[in-house]
Amino acid sequence: MSEEPELREPDLPRTMKVRPKALRTGWTTGSCASAAAKAAVTALRDQRTQQVVEIGLPSGRRVTFAVDSCEVATDRASAVVVKDAGDDPDVTHGAHVTATVSWLARSGVSLEGGVGVGVVTRPGLGLEVGAPAINPVPRAMILASVGEVVDVTDRGVRVVVSVPEGEVMARKTTNARLGILGGISILGTTGIVRPFSTASWRASVEQAVSVMAAQGETTVVLVTGGRTEQGARRLLPDLPEVCFVEVGDFTGAAIRRARENSLQHLVFVGMVGKLTKLAAGVLMTHYTRSKVDPGVLAQVTRAAGGSADLVAEVGAANTARHAYELWEQAGLLRAAGGVLCRRVAGVLERFAESELSVEVAMVDFTGRRVVAATREEWAA
């Protein structure tokens, strides 16, 4: 979720057709864990290593996975499926999702998390505190896959899912902030990873808001990335880490979840590009879905007392950053930024149907300095 200035697409000859290359879909960690579990249980039952395995997805579709490695002994077996995330920039791409199984003295399936699978330490995730971070759909997929091999009403199976290097991978995720410690989560709702999927990001934003609400917090601070979070933390140093949610482009989803959890106060901290889009009423702010409207920037300049020449110049700006620089050169940055922040606050309050009080702050491009805000004392 980039915080860089908007870049316009280059002009192409009218006769030139651009055919985007199709992106490969991939498999979720939940699908891989299900395949590994089925391969391991089959190996234990048949006392023979497995090379391929077929599982069912939630949609009913049947898919086949290659088993990277499989080991079997009299009382236990293990299988590894290497995650292929397709063309999605997934931190778990290439992960060796491993299932180790053994028989239980009782019926049923005992599903546990091993090395590299996180443990839930906070409420609000839809999982029990102390349980492995294996989400409900993957859990159901694993149980169904095991049930295709053995009748678990008659014979019990212990399944331990592990992901070597999972703890290292988790450092690149929001797991620690959500209270998932020691590794990654076993995720997935469809079993399929869509390249550059917005669904997984939106889900993580909504989950983060729910987790902070479960801690009894009433103020959520939405930031668009790492640099804006730095500014937000300087602004609100007394708030706990869980209150800061990297919302990316999913401001609307975060606000809906905040309302559902009866939160009271929302603070949005962003740079000029995102704020300009929000001021125009666009809550899905990804650069491929919306563009900065120079007309909004020109209106802001006029409302801040800018000259007619400055209004025209800003209205013709290449990017929001260009407008920011023009304001700064004219000594109008704080005034124009204040107008912009107030407009964004109004948009967000209307979207929240006045159920949340909203404050907005704009940071510079380093994220270190608040240059304008709806609360006057916040601005540098």
Percentage of the chain with pLDDT > 70? 89
CATH number at residue 129: 3.30.2110.10
Alpha helices in the chain (DSSP H): 29-46, 136-147, 166-170, 175-178, 198-214, 226-235, 251-260, 272-279, 294-303, 308-315, 320-329, 333-351
Say what the pLDDT of residue 372 is. Answer: 94
Give the contacts of 6 (CB within 8 A, at least 6 positions apart): 273, 287, 291, 292, 319, 320, 321
Say what the pLDDT of residue 25 is. Answer: 81
Say what the pLDDT of residue 3 is. Answer: 38
Residues 184-204: pLDDT tens digits? 999 887 877 765 556 667 878
Is the pLDDT at 294 greater than 50? The verdict is yes
Residue 70 lies in a domain: yes
Q: Do residues 179 and 310 share a domain?
A: no
Residue 132 lies in a domain: yes
Q: Do residues 285 and 345 share a domain?
A: yes
Residue 271 lies in a domain: yes
Q: Do residues 202 and 159 share a domain?
A: no
- Domain boundary at 193, 208, 225, which? 193
> In total, how many domains does the chain have?
2
Is the pLDDT at 126 greater than 90? The verdict is no
Q: Which of 83-87, 166-170, 194-198, 335-339 has the lowest mean pLDDT?
A: 194-198
The domain in which residue 285 lies consists of: 198-378
Predicted confidence band of residue 22 (pLDDT cuts 50, 70, 90)? low
| DSSP-assigned beta bridge partners for residue 113 | 161
Is the pLDDT at 313 greater than 50? The verdict is yes
Q: Do residues 122 and 152 share a domain?
A: yes
Rounded to 5°, the CA angle 59-64-67 comes to 135
Q: Do residues 258 and 187 share a domain?
A: no
- The whole-number average pLDDT for the span 295-299 is 95
Q: Do residues 365 and 309 share a domain?
A: yes
Predicted confidence band of residue 10 (pLDDT cuts 50, 70, 90)? very low
pLDDT higher at 248 or 290:
248
Q: Do residues 186 and 50 share a domain?
A: yes
Residue 4 lies in a domain: no
Residue 20 lies in a domain: no
Q: Do residues 110 and 166 share a domain?
A: yes
Pick from 15, 130, 36, 26: nearest CA to 85: 26
Residue 15 lies in a domain: no
Q: Which of 36-45, 179-188, 198-207, 244-253 has the lowest mean pLDDT?
A: 198-207
Residue 112 lies in a domain: yes
- What distance in Å separates the CA atoms of residue 303 and residue 292, rounded to the nearest whole number? 18
- Domain boundary at 156, 171, 193, which? 193
Calculate the average pLDDT of the chain.
Answer: 88
Is the pLDDT at 2 greater than 80? The verdict is no
Q: Do residues 272 and 241 share a domain?
A: yes
- The whole-number average pLDDT for the span 284-293 is 55
Say what the pLDDT of residue 164 is. Answer: 96
Q: Do residues 117 and 247 share a domain?
A: no
Residue 267 lies in a domain: yes
Q: Do residues 223 and 360 share a domain?
A: yes
Predicted confidence band of residue 127 (pLDDT cuts 50, 70, 90)? confident
How many alpha carbons lie under 13 Å from residue 203 in its C-beta half-sphere?
11
- Domain boundary at 193, 217, 233, which? 193
Pair of tokens at residue 54: 């077929």
- The whole-number average pLDDT for the span 162-169 is 96
- Report for 1-10, 18-27, 137-146, 367-376: range of highest mean pLDDT: 137-146
